[in-house]
Chains A and B, each alone.
Chain A
Amino acid sequence: MSTVIEYKCPHCGAILEFDPSLQQMRCPYCDSSFSVEDASQDVKIESEAAELDNEQFGSEGEGFGLYNCSSCGAEIIADETTAATHCPYCSSPVILTGRIADELKPDLIIPFEVSREEAKLALKKHFKDKKLLPKVFTDENHLDEIKGVYLPFWLFDTEASCDARYKTTKINTWTDGRNNYTETKEYAVDRSGTLGFDNIPVDALKNVENDLTESLEVFDISKAVPFNTAYLSGYFANRFDDKMEDCFRRAKERIVNSITSSVDSTVTGYSSVNRLSCNVRLYNTRSHYAMFPVWILNTSWRGQHYLFAMNGESGKFVGNLPLDKGRYWLKRIIYGLIIAAVIFIVWSFFSGRLPL
């Protein structure tokens, strides 16, 4: 058995949602607002929910849960990572606490600060000043879906130490009028250094690509608060399905690049530097489980789907756009011919063929 949480307005009985602009729980019908703490104590309604009957759904139903919407009574089926969703019939926010309880409970959450309207405006702004974006894309593409999602992240704190060895050279040249001399001195250079890292995020959902969430960085961790289910009301949320150990591999890749770059920067005063070996060790590693706010926008154009995302805290907007291939090649040929003409004229001039 699992629990469903809803935050009902004590004045009108509608479901409260977290409002990013107020940073409070707000009733969308009577406009009443409550602090997150008050809502958690006074208006929280918990009800039991049943796991999905596997006999009815077979093996395909494994890991899915069956819940009843307390607003309309409809049955909601949610997959094993869904922690917050909406009733597909009455659109009421539903929070499934079984997915975020006990060891699955996040340590921290950064509440949404950017509203849905701001996300829509950011999408339009994202299309502006893109010279190679198909002109019809802005007019013809349709916003299929916009979802405020709390994505699960593993955060890693660690200390790193690096031992690196380099082969370097110093080159000195001089002349005595008859000969040119080149002196090459070779050195063996050793450097060791330590560096600390705090809160390196790695998204903990297997079906979300790392490059998308890393493009949204940086999430300001100073705005994180202790986790409270009230922040999920009105949004979607998923619990992690990627283990901490697996996610740490990605964090380690970035840590190794960072500390190696820092140690490399201390090798100065040489004509050439060639790193021979580098050994990085991590220690005092700790992990936290957090939820970060992300607006996900799905659009479609000419049968293709385009995914955009916005950092729900900083407002950073990312998403790859299509290339107008016709315009690109036309411009490339025009620029190419202009450059070719310039090369031809300059070449002719310097080879003494043109009286410029």
Chain B
Amino acid sequence: MKKLRFFILLLAFMCLFTSVAYAVSAETLDYGGCNIIYLRIEGHSGSIQNEADRYMIENGYADEDSIMLLVDTREREYYIDTSGRCIQLFPDKTLYRIEDSFLPYLKNNDWNGAGNTFFNSCISVIQNGNAPSSPNQTVIQALVSLAAGLLAGGLPLSKAKKDLISVRKKVSAYDYERRNSFALTRSTDTFLTRHVACVPIPRNDNRSGGGFSGSTMHSSGGHSFGGHGGKF
């Protein structure tokens, strides 16, 4: 009996001090043959990537075309997990932009706003094969394009402007050089020093191999996933 009581007590302590994932809410949408999942949890064990993979495998999403946003509201971490066709459909740069669109909501603890933005972004990508940009990014891109355009706008006019100016000083006396009079009287080339710089070639540890255009991949439980995550 004593041993049993000790075992129960130990189990209670383990439950108390071990962070176990607790799903607060899960929303799922099937759009264009893809599962779009938004899952909120409060705490998790291991890495958030493993937690996302585990959920995808246990719920059968890992075998289908799926994208899931997992948000841990307590640890203030998030992870976007992709599987199947969604790995190619959502490459890293697309995931970064989707992140940019919902991160402001996460930072303000607007969990529903983040979810809605995530769903809209994913739908947009599935519709067009692209992700919408955050408003800030679009404005910056537009302003930079405008500035570059206005600067470059003078280039097509430079010849027309130059045509108006025909009075210029001559730089050289090339027109008055005596023909074939140039004589090279000395020509010496003396070697001074030799220096060799050695730079190691960076190794590519990307498991996806060369030529893959999807997101950065990892494997879990015999399934392949793509994805990206971070803290907010």
Contacts and interface: CB of A to CB of B under 8 A. Distances in A.
Interface stretch (A67-75, A81-89, A95-103, A197-205): A197-205
A340 B197 contact: no
A333 interface: yes
A337 interface: yes
Contacts of A336: 146, 149-154
A47 B197 CA distance: 85
B58 interface: no
Contacts, number: 212
A62 B190 CA distance: 63
A353 interface: yes
Contact of A132 (B94, B161, B175): B161
B194 interface: yes
Contacts of B174: 258, 261
A190 B178 CA distance: 24
Interface in A172-190: 175, 177-190
Interface in A323-356: 323, 328, 331-344, 347-348, 351-355
Contacts of B93: 351-352
Contact of B196 (A178, A182, A353): A182
Interface in A302-323: 317-323
A328 B161 contact: yes
A332 B152 CA distance: 9
A178 B201 contact: yes
A181 B198 contact: yes
B160 A190 contact: no
A180 B198 CA distance: 6
A215 interface: yes
Given A179-B200, A348-B141, A195 B190 contact: no
A193 interface: yes
B56 to A, nearest CB: 24
A340 B187 contact: no
Nearest to A182: B197
Contact of A353 (B133, B173, B189): B133
A255 interface: yes
A344 B184 contact: no
A130 interface: yes
Given A255-B173, A336-B149, A184 B195 contact: yes
A196 B175 CA distance: 12
Contacts of A352: 91, 93-94, 97, 130-131
Contact of A191 (B155, B176, B187): B187
Contacts of A321: 164-165
Interface in B136-173: 141-142, 145-157, 160-161, 163-173
A317 B195 CA distance: 55
Kindly state the interface size class of chain A when it binds its partner. Answer: 35 or more
B152 A261 contact: no
Contacts of A132: 157, 160-161, 163-164
Nearest to B127: A355
A279 interface: no
Given A130-B160, A188-B192, A197-B177, A212 B167 contact: yes
B92 to A, nearest CB: 10
Contacts of B182: 193-195, 262
Nearest to B150: A336
B145 A320 contact: no
Contact of B153 (A181, A319, A333): A333
Contacts of B183: 193-195
Contacts of A212: 167
Contacts of A180: 198-201
A178 B186 CA distance: 44
A165 B128 CA distance: 62
Contacts of A193: 182-185
A182 B196 CA distance: 5
Contact of A338 (B149, B157, B167): B149
B206 interface: no
B115 to A, nearest CB: 22
Given A183-B195, A257-B173, A328-B161, 20 more contacts: A163-B186, A178-B200, A185-B191, A186-B192, A187-B192, A188-B189, A189-B190, A191-B187, A193-B184, A197-B176, A257-B172, A258-B174, A262-B177, A335-B157, A336-B150, A340-B149, A341-B149, A343-B145, A344-B142, A354-B130
Interface of A: 129-133, 161, 163, 168, 175, 177-200, 210-212, 214-215, 217-218, 251, 254-255, 257-258, 261-263, 266, 317-323, 328, 331-344, 347-348, 351-355
27 contacts: A129-B163, A180-B199, A181-B198, A184-B194, A187-B190, A189-B188, A191-B186, A193-B182, A194-B181, A194-B182, A197-B178, A198-B178, A218-B175, A254-B170, A328-B161, A331-B157, A332-B154, A336-B151, A336-B154, A338-B149, A339-B152, A339-B153, A340-B146, A340-B147, A341-B145, A352-B131, A353-B130
4 smallest beta-carbon distances between A and B, as pairs? A340-B149, A336-B153, A196-B178, A192-B186
